[in-house]
Chain A
């Protein structure tokens, strides 16, 4: 049994910033991530972020991941990759980790030469930053090879450098669908169309403009009816939908495609939180069932905190801020406060409010306020 002050599950933007703030305040901190490389979804983000300078506008996601990992390492955080947390009970995490005898801190090149073994980690505080998972879409033929999550396609092209197909249909015109469509073009794929069931493009205009300029049609009020093919996807049938989501008969058209990417949103990956018996609540704006948390990011289970997409599906920028907030608050609850913590928290809250304002994001601010309101009533008092 290993003992630490703070164990963080997930080395994405939320998990890494949480660990950095905890370690800076003197917590013995470990971060566990199932992937071979820290950074979460950031390591697939090859485009420059935009927004404000505080949120690293102009920087590519993958560079943010690297700088966060180095910041964590120099703050004394132990980052364990290829470490799968398969259970949680009584403030203990059960992990299968790729470890050798001497060291628990392993990066990918070493991990391949070591063996998996089980490991228990007892933590005084736990921060869950397990992220989101892609929503599936059910239609005839959706289990054929060639139908995949847009995030999976992005992993294939940007991490493994494998093009999933040559002629691609994207289902969903939110930011994920638009950005990944553009990256598929950059990787050498042909985007046959981007379809969107609602009557408007959900993602930012700048992303939609890029793929429109590349000649890709974005068809709103369109849905997918079926995929078919001998042993994999060879064609898709799409059709118009009316205002009450009914298929407009006669509007069906067949597209010759070999790949169908699904980008219809994400939901919080709340499995470990549920296993820890954290109470969840249903919030459509935040992606579905989300663990209840208070303004300190603590759940209904004392000592368990959450941050990032797990606490409501948003963006990398909000995950970076929520992680810091959770890290500061978890450390403070162990008596490891730092002068200036109060001001830091107020500054983070201000920046989160900024990120959740505007026509695209106000509904998330409202949903978050509601969630935190429930959390203030239900979560343990400090």
Chain B
């Protein structure tokens, strides 16, 4: 894969930025996410999480099964603050 190929579309994070995060100590999807914002955009990693995992597996020479999915947090669907605020008053 070329260095400037984008992995996370939402946050425009490239393969090289992910490799750099791994060189700097990221050992899992959450570690890459904290360092690069990959998976923190609108789709919340729905598209790129598997690709991030593949880069991790290649760079760290481990099987895909060695990498758990990133911690999932609510809301799992995009929702407006307006609606969230209404929900808390119920």
Contacts and interface: CB of A to CB of B under 8 A. Distances in A.
B56 interface: no
A217 interface: no
B47 A136 contact: yes
Contact of B50 (A96, A143, A267): A267
B90 A118 contact: yes
Interface residues of B, number: 30
Interface in A233-286: 267, 270-272, 274-275, 280, 282, 284
Given A118-B87, A139-B1, A280-B69, A271 B76 contact: yes
Given A139-B5, A280-B69, A86 B47 contact: no
B50 A135 contact: yes
Q: What size tier do the contact residues of chain A reach?
A: 20 to 34
Contacts, number: 76
A133 interface: yes
A49 interface: no
Contacts of B50: 135-136, 267, 288
A1 B48 contact: no
B61 interface: no
A274 B74 contact: no
A86 B75 contact: yes
A94 interface: yes
B65 to A, nearest CB: 4
Interface in B40-90: 46-48, 50-51, 54, 64-65, 68-69, 71-77, 79, 83-84, 86-87, 90
Given A87-B76, A96-B77, A117-B86, A282 B64 contact: yes
Contact of B5 (A85, A87, A133, A142): A142
A133 B43 CA distance: 12
A289 B64 CA distance: 10
A289 B9 contact: no
Contacts of A86: 74-77, 79
A275 B75 CA distance: 9
B6 interface: yes
A96 B46 contact: no
Contact of B73 (A275, A282, A289): A275
A52 to B, nearest CB: 34
B44 to A, nearest CB: 8
Nearest to A87: B74
B7 interface: yes
Interface of B: 1-2, 5-7, 9, 15, 46-48, 50-51, 54, 64-65, 68-69, 71-77, 79, 83-84, 86-87, 90
7 contacts: A87-B76, A136-B47, A136-B51, A138-B7, A139-B1, A280-B68, A284-B65
Given A118-B86, A136-B48, A143-B9, 15 more contacts: A1-B90, A86-B74, A86-B76, A86-B77, A87-B75, A87-B76, A89-B74, A94-B74, A117-B83, A119-B90, A136-B50, A142-B5, A272-B76, A275-B74, A284-B64
